[in-house]
Amino acid sequence: MDLTKVDAIIENYDGDATSLLAIMQDVQDQENYLPREAVNHISAKLDVPVSRIYSMATFFESFHLEPRGKHICTVCMGTACHVRGAQRLVEHLERDLSVKSGGTTEDLQFTLEEVNCVGACALGPLVIIDGEYHGNVTSTRLTKAVKKLKTRKGGE
């Protein structure tokens, strides 16, 4: 990744080491994950040991150290969604995207994830695609949404 971007983010927080968590979040927003060279760079700039940054990044579920796809599909696995067939949606997406749950496609286009509950139980089963909440989804609607993203990839 472009380390000048990391520099700009650190500058936003006046190079303050107490803002480490916010800096890590901002870097992840740029790349969808925390690249190792960015971690090393932050460590050197803020004079915070790499071990501490790694420790924090592995403590919080929201940080990712492996590259993730451009599009992120998150399937809610909460109780309400579960009883309405969330597991089947995951399997459906696994087949559609040819990637195991929790994994990223080889072309770095899609990441399929599960989450335990997003608190929108009345809308279950729920799938979040690129931050957009799709309530009462069916496998046909999922296929359509995924297809739309796949074709858009070609158009860009």
The contact set with other proteins (CB under 8 A) reads 36, 39, 49-55, 58-59, 61, 65
Q: How far is CA 110 from CA 65, 89, 100, in A?
A: 16, 15, 11
Cross-sheet strand order for the sheet of 132-134: 110-115, 71-76, 127-129, 132-134
- Name which of 52 and 88 has its Cβ closer to other proteins: 52
- Name which of 59 and 151 has its Cβ closer to other proteins: 59
| Least Å from the CB of residue 57 to other proteins | 9
| Least Å from the CB of residue 108 to other proteins | 21
- Name which of 39 and 126 has its Cβ closer to other proteins: 39
Residue in this structure with the two tokens 């990441």, named with its chain if needed: 111
| Least Å from the CB of residue 43 to other proteins | 9
| Least Å from the CB of residue 37 to other proteins | 12
Say how far apart CA 122 and CA 75 lie, in whole Å: 15
CB 6 within 8 A of CB 27: yes
Both structure tokens of 17: 């080491």
Strand partners, 147: none
- Name which of 36 and 88 has its Cβ closer to other proteins: 36
